[in-house]
Structure 1
């Protein structure tokens, strides 16, 4: 958008007053709407370095437009013009303003992110995030990463969108994680990691639908990068465990678990994690499993995903080799999950099936689950039980059904994970 008006504002109050005047403009023609949007972008970019330096001020600026008459009378048109601006502009301040608007609008209105995808903004975001000018502007870079994450986690990306991601882009993101400070609260940790998480989920979903839509196979470039260069990018794995340990949003927990599921199910990455970090991961999984209440469908879905991840960890990671970490504690937890008469409700069939799969791991034999704690079952009987339950897994891999089940588990953004501890505190 070309700017046509210059401003000479003397203080911050004049800036906000001018902005209020612009967003309150009542327009009835597209040309007038365009002029008002140009004025909005002109005044915000001209004074961005003075009055829009913080995330709070950028959010305040975006909500001024979102709550004004200009937007509310012409929502679809204004959104589309802002999307076009993202596609066409290369000026950093302008990109920052429009990205902030789309992020805050999209978080409350899925239609905004759907419009972005329809207009082809995902490949544009991939391009912008890698440009030198954007990388040198940390605030803008972080905003674009957050916009990519938020817009990608509420809808399935197209085959063309995924084709825009190459190995270099994934390695670029992993390099950022390796390069940031050891501070877990570094602002770059979350946005970059979450983009990798949502890309992995998109690849996982695409792998379950590629045969039905006529497109060829799509390489999961996140898993490919870690399979090839895992020793170089260990910080990503450390951060996954840290996030899983403290994350209370179900959708993000599921994203992390989907990466873990693929990493531990892949022979090239099954031992990607440091042994000490792997022990922490086992502790986190055991704690979270015991903390999930029994009377919640959301908790059941999450419990099933944790158990699906636990099996390849037990079967394929370093923990499968002596000395086996917390063997007795794992036995007790699995036994509790399928034993009635405790604080759990009657066990659902899926939980029972997944627990039996976990206890089929050789180093956990003899199992206290199948046949009861007093009974030892021969190998032939165990194999028959596994096949009867549909769990015969050859070569350490997981069945296509399991992949579909893991890919299908989703939750709306913002939904908090049910917790026994939190319920007891209230």
Structure 2
């Protein structure tokens, strides 16, 4: 049986298993077992046991549940309220006024979260009611929040970066630091669009509040201090070389618990809920990672990644054409799968192709994160769209249309990333340790 027939058989098996309602991690393991049992001489059961144990016991993965737990703790605090009150006085003089609080708030919370959906939900639960009360257009409020919420994946710490780092054997600390400049640039692009939109539609922007004295502005900004200190502790410890990603994650958990305790929101129910929420999410991700690792091993024995890389290499595609094709591929894939599943399902095949094309894996990690960000706002499986649908009751189509301009801005960010790869490489080259 040739490679095309084997690939078709495995794809049909995958979609049949997924369509039956089986969890993604188990579906990946099932397809891997079929591939290895039918097309390889190695015993599938032994390979599955060794691979899943090796993936589950990876020390690199220990940072993942800690960062997830940190985000779950902060989600149950008053951080979003404090951030809105602290940011609002400084946004009144900008074109677009308080619409910028969505972007600035998501940028700050992304630096202590790691999850796009959590960032969107945390900032949205405070900003959306306030923006609606003040008369801001709902489409811009929803679009800017859905778009800026994706920064939770790009600005470190990022769950998807940890998943990619494990899958591609790339330093997670270097990935974290590499995402800082692109994340800030994307946030500035979002704010620039809001300013341009408000300049073109001045009648849709409510008037500014009464001017606030500088002393009151600084007093209102005190609520930002705990989050800023947590960001400095987590990212500063990684950048300076004092801590690894796992150690920084531990520091982040302790810091988030201290913030929660200082705000009076730390009690047994919130502690238990945050721990259970983090455990459930990590177990889901770990199962997907284990299934993907077994699938990668299975495809390696069959030889599909090598043959696919050779086939694509024979097409003589330029790096730009290859990246454009991968962008379209991931956008389409994002219509049906979540970001983590997209990464772990495809890395075994895509990485050999990327390496053959001479593309830096650190740069490609940031590229893939931005593409996954785009998938967060594409229906029907756009997690940020689901979050906003639950918060507002609006339909997925309505929210997707409101978010479309920010989707195009992420496409622009991909172009800038290709033209200026130094955005990714600069900070990692300055790292100590």
TM-score range, shorter chain: under 0.3
Larger Rg: 1
TM-score normalised by L of structure 1: 0.22
Q: Which has the higher contact order (CA 8 A, sep 6+)?
A: 2
Structure ranking higher in helix proportion: 2
